[in-house]
Amino acid sequence: MRLIAGIDVGNATTEVALADVSTTSAPRFLASASVPTTGIKGTVRNIPGIVDALRRATQSVEVQLSDISLALLNEATPVIGDIAMETITETLVTESTMIGHNPVSPGGIGLGVGRTMHIRDLVSATRADQVIVVIPREYDFEIVAQMLRRALEAGVPIQGGIVQGDDGVLIANRLGQPLPFVDEVAHIERVPLNMMAAVEVAPEGQTVRQLSNPYGIASLFGLSPQETTLVIPIAKALIGLRSAVVIRTPAGEVRTRRIPAGALTLIGERRTETVGLDLGAEAVMDVIAQVAPLRDVSGEPGTNVGGMIGRIRQTMGDLTEKPVEEIKIRDVLAVDCQVPQRVAGGVAQEFSLENAVGLAAMVNTDRLLMERVAQALMDEIHVPTELGGVEANMAILGALTTPGADAPLAVLDLGAGSSDAALLRRGEAVRTTHLAGAGNMVTLLINSELGLGDFEAAEEIKRYPLAKVESLFHIRNEDNTVRFYKEPLDPRLYGRVATIQGDRLVPIPGNHTMERIRQVRQEAKQKVFMRNALRALSAVAPAGNLRLIDFVVIVGGSGLDFELPQMLTRHLANYGVVVGSANVRGTEGPVNAVATGLVIHYFERKKAGLV
Amino acid sequence: MSVEPVYQREAVAESPAIHVVLAPGVDPRLFRWVEVGAEEEGVPCRLAQASAQGLAAAAYEAAQASRLGVGVGVGADRVLLHEAHMPVGQPVWAWPSNGAPAEVCRRAGCNAGRFVKRMPLRLEEAAVATAGQAPAAGTEIQDVWAPEAIIQAIARVLERRGLA
């Protein structure tokens, strides 16, 4: 028996295929293993992961690590990617002119207009004062209700209120007449007193109408046409909310500021173009297609994009231990998205959806990196180690072990850091491409668009289907099917949207609906995976024509995604392309293609007498 | 003579509400705080009687009797949220009173209301929003013209601190 191990270090997982190559017709595969990659791909910190994977594979067939006579390492995709995101608009509130938020339970109903007045000053109010009462938390709801009732009985025309605590309903219920109360206003001390204000609370299941309409606000405050144009951002920010307050202060305003996003200069082999990021991701991607192949990219200094490109260069320089000037960006993927941001100067922790752009960039590395890893591995396990073949070619060899697969075929590997494709046609050299943006970019988009601030939670949303916990005994899946449980679920899950991770339900932070999370997840996959699948396949297709590719096999972790293969199959069917997930060696599914390919490649070289 | 139709009487008696039971010896005013918590969520609440022994069994009985299937049991040292489908001995949640029974009752009422509405429960929060800073209520209220309000406020503060 002569044992060899094919080792594939990926961005996310390290995979091993263990085989006996003393056979004559084909290698005899004995075991496979997959562990999370330790450290950044292509660095010596990969060694613990590799050793772990090798141990698992050898232990499962009861052989020793030292029984391995040769370890073959992939000549890794010579690219590494990085991602960055910046918002390019910002909403600013000066002098507290607007409170628009969605407390769970605002009180009362209707629209009230009057001057803001602290509740302690109510005693001095007269019948002539239209009043909006400002109620800090230290006032108990029953006392507040009593004070308001007295004032109303005395003829003070109270129009509504702004409440700091979660008491809106309790106060409104005790007045005997319906008045609107917006509650849970955290920074009530910032509400200016003795200013004209409008309070609106919509009925359950509806949203504010008057205050989300610029002319509605103009009618309430008697604004001139010039002043009306200034309240458009206010009205826009209040759309879709159940309760809102607008306060008219002499100098106050709400502004949407466009942050100068800057321009990207795309240096191609034949031409160079500059494109402003504020034209949107589509425009950037069009220009990239025009100047392809890219040699390098630079961002306008002193702007957002300049900062993003600078950070990416710095990270890449640190990883590859090269001077920053020598880092060349070979591909960029730009994606538009909307990011919830806290409104600067808001009084109730309002959020506003701002435009943002995400960038994924990819730089070339050199072969030296993996050679260093091979040397370090040899020192660690005392087994001869060598680089066994270019990753893309190995992936094709592995993919060809899928039952029913044969050349010509294209292999698509949508990984964590980059999107790779390779095309094999009989009698031709394998064509390969590596593009920026893959799974990590999808996670970044999910994290940003849902405002999670938690990369792990976003990763789980990407990976697992959703369910809503509808009772302590049943959940509703995202396809509307229902599953019942014999034992009650954890009450902390009740009413929450969760990811289904095998037998476990993991609640998702925040108040997003299942539909919204699903939409964000699928759109993120569309924006990154779909676009890159098309770009990558076009890049390797004969004459750049996707329709000339007949078969595409998905390999790598993306093939395990619960919806991506179907999304790709459906989408690429439009181009007459057949897409399916690989089933390496008929047993492994879409993973282990490169590790398997390394073994096969060695075996063929051995048969040909080359080794 | 006029006879009240049976269906009408039943409709009144059985209108959907959270059922609240108080353990023997518990301050009957605590029901009000459960009710306040449920009211902020917009869900009706009713004081009910239970024959079962033990707080969990009584809360379960309340949940069974409630057409919303949700019951709250207020005991001397803890407050239980129960639901009709749960096993008798396994309430949905139990809050220790921790010397602030009014506050805890309000939180239990709030969660009972959220349970009915199928909203996530508020289990981990430190306090229900308005349970307020008592000293501030004492000072701020002084410039107000309603003396009975002050008296009520003081009574409430005492109650919260378990002195009344």
| CATH 3.50.30.70 for the A93-253 domain, yes or no | yes
The reported pLDDT for the residue numbered A144 is 95
Say whether A436 sits in a helix, a strand or coil. strand
Question: Residues of B numbered 24-43 whose beta carbons fall under 8 angstroms of chain A's beta carbons: which are they?
Answer: 36, 39-42
- Is B47 part of any domain? yes
DSSP bridge pairs for A330? none
Residues B34 and B84 in one domain: yes
Residues A312, A306: contact at Cβ < 8 Å? no
Per DSSP, helices labelled H in A468-590 are 514-525, 531-540, 564-572
Residues A103, A184: contact at Cβ < 8 Å? yes
- Burial class of A221 by CB neighbour count within 10 A (0 to 12, 13 to 18, 19+): middle
Phi first, then psi: what are they for B15, rounded to 5°?
Answer: -60, 145
From chain B, the residues in CB contact with A104 under 8 A are 41, 119
Q: At residue A523, does pLDDT exceed 70?
A: yes
Which CATH topology does A1-78+366-397+590-611 take?
Answer: Nucleotidyltransferase; domain 5 (3.30.420)
Residues B21 and B85 in one domain: yes
For residue A593, give the nearest of A319, A344, A401, A436 by alpha carbon.
A401
Contact of B144 with chain A, judged by CB distance below 8 Å, is answered with: yes
Mean pLDDT check: name the lowest of A23-27, A309-313, A366-370, B97-101: A366-370
Residues B89 and B22 in one domain: yes
In this prediction, residues A11-36 reach a mean pLDDT of 93
Is the backbone peptide bond immediately before A178 cis, with ω within 30 degrees of 0?
A: no
In 10 A of CB B82, how many CB atoms?
32
- Is B32 part of any domain? yes
- Per-residue b or e along A174-193, where b marks 16 or more CB atoms closer than 10 Å to that residue's CB: bbeeebbbbbbbeebeebbe
In this prediction, residues A166-193 reach a mean pLDDT of 90
Residues B29 and B109 in one domain: yes
Containing domain of residue B74, as a range? 13-116
pLDDT (tens digit per residue) in A287-299:
999 998 899 999 9
How many CB contacts within 8 angstroms connect chain A with chain B?
99
Q: At residue A21, does pLDDT exceed 50?
A: yes
Phi first, then psi: what are they for B11, rounded to 5°?
Answer: -60, -40
Mean pLDDT of all residues in chain A? 89
Q: At residue B89, does pLDDT exceed 50?
A: yes
Q: At residue B141, does pLDDT exceed 50?
A: no
Residues 6+ apart with CB under 8 A from A560: A589, A590, A591
Q: Give the sign of the dihedral formed by CA A301, CA A304, CA A309, CA A314.
A: positive
Please, how many CA atoms are within 13 Å of residue A494, restricted to the half-sphere of its CB? 24
The reported pLDDT for the residue numbered A542 is 92
Residues B89 and B139 in one domain: no
The pLDDT > 70 percentage for chain A reads 95
Q: At residue A82, does pLDDT exceed 70?
A: yes
From chain A, the residues in CB contact with B92 under 8 A are 472, 491, 494
Say whether A64 sits in a helix, a strand or coil. coil
Residues A199, A153: contact at Cβ < 8 Å? no
> Distance (Å, rounded) from C-alpha A117 to C-alpha A134?
6
From chain A, the residues in CB contact with B39 under 8 A are 169-170, 173
Residues B164 and B108 in one domain: no
Q: At residue B146, does pLDDT exceed 70?
A: no
Residues 6+ apart with CB under 8 A from A504: none
- Is B7 part of any domain? no
Residues A211, A128: contact at Cβ < 8 Å? no
Q: At residue B161, does pLDDT exceed 80?
A: no
Amino acid identity for residue A542 in this structure: P
Is the backbone peptide bond immediately before A408 cis, with ω within 30 degrees of 0?
A: yes
> Distance (Å, rounded) from C-alpha B111 to C-alpha B128?
10
Q: DSSP readout, A128-178?
A: T--EEEEE-TTS-HHHHHHHHHHHHHTT--EEEEEESSS-HHHHHHTSSS-
> Distance (Å, rounded) from C-alpha A66 to C-alpha A54?
10
DSSP state for residue B48 in the 8-state scheme: -
Residues B146 and B94 in one domain: no
- Binary contact (B132, A488; C-beta < 8 A): no
In this prediction, residues B37-54 reach a mean pLDDT of 93
- Residue A409 or A417, more confident: A409
In 10 A of CB B77, how many CB atoms?
12
Specify the residue for token string 């009752």: B105
For residue A10, give the nearest of A430, A555, A384, A533 by alpha carbon.
A555
Which CATH topology does A406-581 take?
Answer: Nucleotidyltransferase; domain 5 (3.30.420)
In this prediction, residues B47-61 reach a mean pLDDT of 94
pLDDT (tens digit per residue) in B97-118:
988 999 999 999 999 999 999 9
Residues B64 and B139 in one domain: no
Indicate the domain borders of chain A.
Answer: 1-78+366-397+590-611, 82-88+259-364, 93-253, 406-581
Give every strand in the sheet of A294-299, ordered side by side: A272-276, A263-268, A294-299
- Is B3 part of any domain? no
Specify the residue for token string 């029901």: B31
pLDDT (tens digit per residue) in A262-279:
889 999 999 999 998 888
Reported as type and span, the H/E element at residue B82 is: strand B78-83
In 10 A of CB A395, how many CB atoms?
34
Q: At residue A66, does pLDDT exceed 60?
A: yes
Mean pLDDT check: name the lowest of A176-185, A342-351, A388-397, A490-499: A342-351
Cβ-nearest to B133 among A105, A120, A138: A138
Residues B100 and B136 in one domain: no
Residues B84 and B147 in one domain: no
DSSP state for residue A526 in the 8-state scheme: I
Question: Residues of B numbered 68-127 whose beta carbons fall under 8 angstroms of chain A's beta carbons: which are they?
Answer: 83, 85-87, 90, 92-93, 114-115, 118-121, 123
Residues 6+ apart with CB under 8 A from A176: A149, A152
Reported as type and span, the H/E element at residue A421 is: strand A418-424
pLDDT confidence bin for B128, thresholds 50/70/90: very low
- Asked if domains A82-88+259-364 and A406-581 share a fold, the reply is no
The reported pLDDT for the residue numbered A320 is 73
- Is B160 part of any domain? yes
> How many domains are contained in chain B?
2
- Is B8 part of any domain? no
Per-residue tokens: B2: 């006029």
Residues B136 and B108 in one domain: no
Amino acid identity for residue B1 in this structure: M
- Is B24 part of any domain? yes
pLDDT (tens digit per residue) in A330-370:
899 999 988 887 777 667 677 777 888 888 988 876 667 78
pLDDT (tens digit per residue) in A102-115:
677 889 999 999 99
Give every strand in the sheet of B18-22, ordered side by side: B45-47, B18-22, B70-74, B78-83, B93-96
- Is B105 part of any domain? yes
To the nearest 10 degrees (0 to 180), the angle between helices A455-463 and A439-449 is 110
Say whether B140 sits in a helix, a strand or coil. helix
- Binary contact (A488, B85; C-beta < 8 A): yes
pLDDT confidence bin for A308, thresholds 50/70/90: confident
The reported pLDDT for the residue numbered A342 is 77
Residues A180, A101: contact at Cβ < 8 Å? no
Q: Which of A494, A496, A512, A513 to mutate to test binding with chain B, by most B CBs within 10 Å of its CB?
A: A494
Q: At residue B9, does pLDDT exceed 60?
A: no
In this prediction, residues A206-226 reach a mean pLDDT of 91
Residues B95 and B140 in one domain: no
| CATH 3.30.565.10 for the A82-88+259-364 domain, yes or no | no
> Distance (Å, rounded) from C-alpha B148 to C-alpha B151?
5
Residues B52, B60: contact at Cβ < 8 Å? yes
Residues A368, A100: contact at Cβ < 8 Å? no
- Binary contact (B153, A150; C-beta < 8 A): no
Looking at chain A, which residue has its C-alpha nearest residue B134?
Answer: A138
Say which CATH number the domain at B24 has.
3.40.50.10150
Instruction: Out of A34-43, A244-253, A359-368, B58-67, give the one with best mean pLDDT.
Output: B58-67
For residue A360, give the nearest of A439, A452, A295 by alpha carbon.
A439
The pLDDT > 90 percentage for chain A reads 60
pLDDT (tens digit per residue) in A194-205:
999 999 999 988
Residues A327, A320: contact at Cβ < 8 Å? yes
